Amino acid sequence: MALIELRHVTKIFGRAPREGLARVRAGVGKEQLLAETGMVLGLHDVNLAIEPGEIFVVMGLSGSGKSTLIRHLNRLIDPTDGEVLVDGEDILTFSARALEAFRRRRMSMVFQRFGLMPHRTVLANVAYGLEVRGEARRARERTARDWVERVGLAGYEDSYPHQLSGGMQQRVGLARALATGADILLMDEAFSALDPLIRSQMQDQLIALQAELNRTVVFITHDLDEALRIGTRIAILKDGVVVQVGTPAEILLAPADDYVAAFVRDVNRARALTVEAVMKPPVCRLTDETLDRALAEMRRHGAAEAVVMAADGYRGVVTAAKVEAALQAKGAPRRLAELAVAAPTFTPDTPIERLVPAALQAGVPLPVVDEAGNVKGLVTPEAVGKMLAEREAETAPAGIETKPRDAA
């Protein structure tokens, strides 16, 4: 069962949301609704299922309804229509008390402009969630101190937010959210206000923390690179409508419509995609045997290359052509293990970018081996080339704007 589920969630801002809802149901779109009634269609029939333990990214341009969407999850905003389920329970039925308890225990939030309390010290800010739910000063300060340290701010406990840089302030925001121990973390453009270097540090820190704590993160961003970098899955929002949900590879390789395609057009695929997206499973695995037997085995599988395994694991890669050549030549090695090229291996989550130099040098396909030592697949230089070239072949769909980048 999904941890969080949104069912047919529609949100209309304005003086008569119900009336607006009737119009929207009758097929009126965002612009028309605004023009005719002055009401804003914030979200339109949003359906999402967020699984426990994932980093679920919601991406869209400014005004697409991202903040509106994430605020439905802890009911900072109530929908005009639809259901919001957490653990299968509709949180819209909660009383004020139950909602407070829910916010104290289950969900915490990080804000774009940090939302820190300027009159409280770093320590008191981090302890805020614990204070609100009535924990004794000693206990909450111990927990808070711990988190201040974990986000790398030890020594700043008694500083005030305005004495810290933006990156440090957001670490306080992150520590405050993590300190409550809530299993769901909501992050609304949490890193958007930070400069690029600090931003990628924070992304790394988030990924590391998430791997360690295994919380569920709902992350909002308007930056596709950020989405691709940290997202387990990504939902793309346009004018309040979810246009696609998928893994980063699915979004990049199979955009659902022109809007998404325009978004992904400028992405550096070599950086955004991992080895997993281009590898193919190895058809042929050989142990150390004679060249004749190896060649026969490869022919039987119709494989042009094979991974050579020894008792202690991966040994190298051979191609059928090489084995044939060795059989003809005199003085060539007679055993497969000696012939195999010990090409470097990569884990499935390596960005393609990092594999390119090796792929060009090795002269053989590169094996993909996971942390446990299992061979998961092979990456051929051709596959890499084809994947990277694809975007050159694509023609840009007309009339679609990508991210506004005309700052100059």
Nearer to another protein, 133 or 403 (CB): 133
Selection from another protein, ligand ATP, Mg ion, none that 113 binds (CB < 5 to 8 A by kind) is: another protein
Nearer residue to another protein within complex by CB, 136 or 310: 136
CA-CA distance, 297 to 308, in Å (whole number)? Answer: 12
Q: Least distance to another protein from the beta carbon of 185, Å?
A: 11
Residue 74's binding partner out of another protein, ligand ATP, Mg ion, none, with CB under 5 to 8 Å set by partner kind: another protein
> What single-letter DSSP state applies at residue 349?
T
Nearest distance in Å: CB 30, another protein: 24
Which positions from 58 through 87 interact with Mg ion, judged by CB under 5 A?
Answer: 67
Q: How far apart are CA 196 and CA 152, in angstroms?
A: 18
- Which does residue 222 touch among another protein, Mg ion, ligand ATP, none (CB within 5 to 8 A, set by kind)? ligand ATP
**Cα–Cα separations (whole angstroms), residue 368 to 253, 288, 383:** 20, 19, 14
Of 159 and 350, CB closest to another protein: 159
Distance CA 308, CA 127 (A): 55
How far is Cα 256 from Cα 165, in angstroms, rounded to an integer? 40
CB-based closest residue to Mg ion = 67
Token pair recorded at residue 320: 């059928």
- In angstroms, what is the minimal distance from the CB of 135 to another protein? 12
Is the CB of 80 or the CB of 121 nearer to ligand ATP?
Answer: 80
What is the dihedral angle through the alpha carbons of 87, 92, 97, 98, rounded to the nearest 10 degrees? -10
- For 170, counting Cβ atoms within 10 Å of its Cβ (0-12 exposed, 13-18 middle, 19+ buried), the class is buried
Which residue number, 30 or 215, has a Cβ lying nearer to ligand ATP? 30
Q: What angle do CA 141, 146, 149 make, to 5 degrees?
A: 125
Residue with Cβ nearer ligand ATP (66 or 322): 66
Residue 68, contacted partner among ligand ATP, Mg ion, another protein, none, CB below 5-8 A by kind: ligand ATP
Which residue, 175 or 190, has its beta carbon nearer to ligand ATP?
Answer: 190
Binding site for another protein (CB under 8 A): 74, 76, 99-105, 107-109, 111-119, 128-129, 132-133, 160-162, 176, 180, 186
In angstroms, give the least distance from the CB of 398 to ligand ATP: 25
Angle formed at CA 23 by CA 19 and CA 25, multiple of 5 degrees = 115
| Closer residue to another protein, CB minimum distance, 134 or 331 | 134
For residue 188, the minimal CB distance to another protein (Å) is 9
Q: Which residue has the tokens 């609704």?
A: 33
CB atoms within 10 A of CB 11: 25
Distance in Å, CB of 186 to another protein, minimum: 8
Q: Which is nearer to another protein, 99 or 400 (CB)?
A: 99
Tally Cβ neighbours within 10 Å of residue 212. Answer: 9
Query: What number of other Cβ atoms are within 10 A of residue 324's Cβ?
Result: 13
Q: How many CB atoms lie within 10 A of CB 311?
A: 7
Dump the DSSP string for 369-391: E-TTS-EEEEE-HHHHHHHHHHH
Instruction: Give the shortest CB-209-to-another protein separation in angstroms.
Output: 19
Q: How far is the CB of 70 from Mg ion (least distance, A)?
A: 8
Q: Which is nearer to another protein, 105 or 271 (CB)?
A: 105
Q: If contact means CB under 5 to 8 A according to the sort of partner, which of another protein, ligand ATP, Mg ion, none does residue 132 touch?
A: another protein
Instruction: Tell me how many residues contact Mg ion (CB under 5 A).
Output: 1
Name the pairing type of β-strands 55-60 and 4-13.
unpaired
Minimum Å gap between C-beta 161 and another protein is 6
CA angle, corner 388, sides to 382 and 391, nearest 5?
135
- Catalog residues that contact ligand ATP under the rule CB under 6 A: 13, 40, 42, 60, 62-68, 222
Q: Which of Mg ion, ligand ATP, another protein, none does residue 274 bind to, with CB < 5 to 8 Å depending on kind?
A: none
The alpha carbon torsion through 12, 15, 16, 20 (nearest 10 deg) reads: -40
Length of the chain: 408
Choose from another protein, Mg ion, ligand ATP, none: what does 23 bind? Cβ within 5-8 Å by kind: none
**Inter-residue contact 117 to 42 (CB < 8 Å):** no
Q: Which residues bind Mg ion (CB under 5 A)?
A: 67
